[in-house]
Structure 1
């Protein structure tokens, strides 16, 4: 089941290497990607009226974390889907971080490190859901 429209995707990730890798996978799938190096930048984009079909956000970031991004997305970008990703931190296991993301209504979660194929499938699944809700 492929995605039949070019989506606008926001990738929020404080690690430049991970952000680049995630962006590349999503662009190879034929989508337009906007990058934000932290949650504050992402929330600023949403506050400015930017609309995204999908937001892929890290959960643990400085300045504003993924939970804040998800909350902002739910109010300012209500039609968009959210994919939360986390590898955890020394004092916070990834499972706990992703549970928090689910509590704040992330549509799906990915544990880092993940395979490009896992990311591709999650993006395609969420965008097909977004496409279905757009068409009714």
Structure 2
């Protein structure tokens, strides 16, 4: 069973992912980057699922920080686009700065599980 940390400012996304994965993984959730940092410092996390458009700090910065502090954690970036300045596709940038894979919102449970399985199998 892998430990997965999900960071998204949208509570409905956190609930969706947690319900989709709790049968096969230990899932931690946070609506903030600060909360995610605390969870990752106090738990052994195998995979970070990171939303890229959040109000306090963008996900690109969060991915770069996690890569420095926790280089072994695998990263799945998720985004529906948008943000303060309008729609922008951050997903290709996320891969450039260290995400193993990306998913565009909305995604299905099947797509989510497939991506997670691929990422975690590569690391084993």
Q: TM-score, normalised by structure 2?
A: 0.90
Q: With CA pairs under 8 Å and 6+ residues apart, which has the higher RCO, 1 or 2?
A: 1
Is there any run of 5+ residues in structure 1 with no aligned partner, and where? 1-5
Give 4+ residue runs of structure 1 displaced > 2 Å after superposition.
43-46, 48-51
In the alignment, the residues of structure 2 paired with residue 32 and residue 58 of structure 1 have an alpha-carbon distance, to the nearest angstrom, of 19
Secondary structure in structure 2 of the residue aligned to 1:83: strand
Q: Paired residue for 1:115, among 86, 108, 112?
A: 108
In the alignment, the residues of structure 2 paired with residue 40 and residue 68 of structure 1 have an alpha-carbon distance, to the nearest angstrom, of 12
CA contact (8 A) 1:60 1:86 kept: yes
In the alignment, the residues of structure 2 paired with residue 70 and residue 121 of structure 1 have an alpha-carbon distance, to the nearest angstrom, of 21
Q: Paired residue for 1:13, among 2, 8, 12?
A: 8
Matched with 1:3 is none
Q: TM-score, normalised by structure 1?
A: 0.82
After alignment, is 103-112 or 83-92 more displaced?
Answer: 83-92
Q: Once the 2 structures are TM-superposed, how far is the Cα of residue 61 of structure 1 from its aligned partner? A: 0.5
Is there any run of 5+ residues in structure 2 with no aligned partner, and where? none
Q: Once the 2 structures are TM-superposed, how far is the Cα of residue 49 of structure 1 from its aligned partner? A: 4.8
Matched with 2:92 is 99
The alignment's C-alpha RMSD in Å is 1.5
Aligned length: 122
